[in-house]
Structure 1
Amino acid sequence: MKKLITLAAIALFSTASFAQTTWNVDKAHSKLQFTITHLAVSDVDGIFKDFTATIVSSKPDFSDAKVSMTANTASVSTDNDQRDGHLKSPDFFDAAAFPTLTFVSTGITKTSANHYKLNGILTLHGTAKAVVFELWYRGTITNPMSKADDAGFQVTGTIKRSDFGFGSKYGSPMLSDEVVVKANGEFSKAN
């Protein structure tokens, strides 16, 4: 009987230690942004006001994290109504035809303490391509307001808009092919 209880305890502990935890983005404390260079002399920043993201992990250092993100392309904002309207048009995001852009991770590799290479598939403007971003896990704390666990992350990287057929009417003298992506996210542990 003692062996049976010990085996049951080991099985329960093993299951608990490998249980996956879901973390949901706290939109009030997160930002999904991009930067593109205009006429080779000025950077223009933009954000997506409407996005969701989740992280699923069974390890406290997130070294097995699975990340997914969806942004509403019609929520793009550069603080200029005319430019935002153009970005939503078929020349760029074509928000009517492609209402979302998505990222789904396919793997994560630790590069140093709390730093990772995050591989995944980015789908933008109807084209899905493999991309690699840098992920910095900034730590986990107990939120003093909600008393729930919150974790912080920063994702950075560069994509080429030509890989996605995005804004193809506007060559690199007008707009840089490289678009810098930066996401700062605070994630709350799901109950």
Structure 2
Amino acid sequence: MTKAVWAVDKGHSSLEFTVKHMMMSKVKGVFTEFDATVEADVNDLTDAKIEFTVDLSSIDTRKEDRDNHLRSADFFDVENYPNMTFVATNIKKTDENEYDVTGDLSIHGVTKPVTFEVTVEGVHKDPWGNEVAGFSGEGKLNRKEFGLVWNAALETGGVLVGEDVKINIELEAHKQA
């Protein structure tokens, strides 16, 4: 297979995150608006071009007050930093259909390298003859490294919001003609 452009099918894709709340439970959320550019040979991603742009105002944690707080200057400050971006800079094959995709992640005006473990889940033809590929990815970042430092102390000790954020990505992409 040769290198091709793959368009993300947002209706069959998701960008989710998990963060500790009150040091004992986890809050999950999604970003509903994102776009990706993937130019790759799905049989060998090592020279792929991968770029993501996420509209941070599209955050959804199923609680409007929390979402509005996350959009505020205390966290993402979407008025000044409306997007989160990721541009792959190094892709290393780690196993059959598995890769470490390292790139520059930019949030809140701060850019740092982050690595995602990515799996090519498969490539098939849909009922209309179109080539479709599936990708899964996961990674972790420390939100404070990106200037997202707001927190509140708990009366019993500890803090309200955890520092580590786990990210899960599920992509379905259609090969472009």
Instruction: Give the TM-score, by structure 2 length.
Output: 0.92
CA–CA distance in 2 between the matches of 1:24 and 1:160?
A: 29
Q: CA RMSD in A?
A: 1.4
| Cα shift readout 1:111-145 (whole Å, capped 9, x = no counterpart) | 1111110010000011100111100110100011x
Give the drift of 1:180.
0.1
Of 151, 175, 181 in structure 1, the residue corresponding to residue 161 of structure 2 is 175
1:120 paired residue number: 103
Residues 61 and 20 from structure 1, CA distance in 2 versus in 1: closer, same or farther, beyond 3 angstroms?
A: closer
| Residue ranges of structure 1 left out of the alignment (5+ in a row) | 1-16
Residues 35 and 59 from structure 1, CA distance in 2 versus in 1: closer, same or farther, beyond 3 angstroms?
A: closer
Q: Report % sequence identity.
A: 37
1:161 paired residue number: 143
Residues 59 and 134 from structure 1, CA distance in 2 versus in 1: closer, same or farther, beyond 3 angstroms?
A: closer
Q: What number of residue pairs does the alignment pair up?
A: 172
Q: How does 1:125-136 map to 2 (within 5 A)?
A: 125-136=108-119
| Cα shift readout 1:80-114 (whole Å, capped 9, x = no counterpart) | 11111111100111111111000010011111111
Q: How does 1:1-191 map to 2 (within 5 A)?
A: 20-58=3-41, 60-144=43-127, 146-166=128-148, 168-170=149-151, 173-191=159-177
Q: Greater strand percent: which structure? A: 2
Give the drift of 1:62.
2.7
Indicate conservation of the 8 Å contact 2:42/2:120, yes or no.
Answer: no
Helix, strand or coil for the counterpart of 2:45? Answer: coil
2:155 paired residue number: none
Indicate conservation of the 8 Å contact 1:66/1:107, yes or no.
Answer: no
Relative CO higher for 1 or 2, CA cutoff 8 Å, sep ≥ 6?
2
CA–CA distance in 1 between the matches of 2:70 and 2:6?
A: 31
| Residue ranges of structure 2 left out of the alignment (5+ in a row) | 153-157
Instruction: Give the TM-score, by structure 1 length.
Output: 0.86
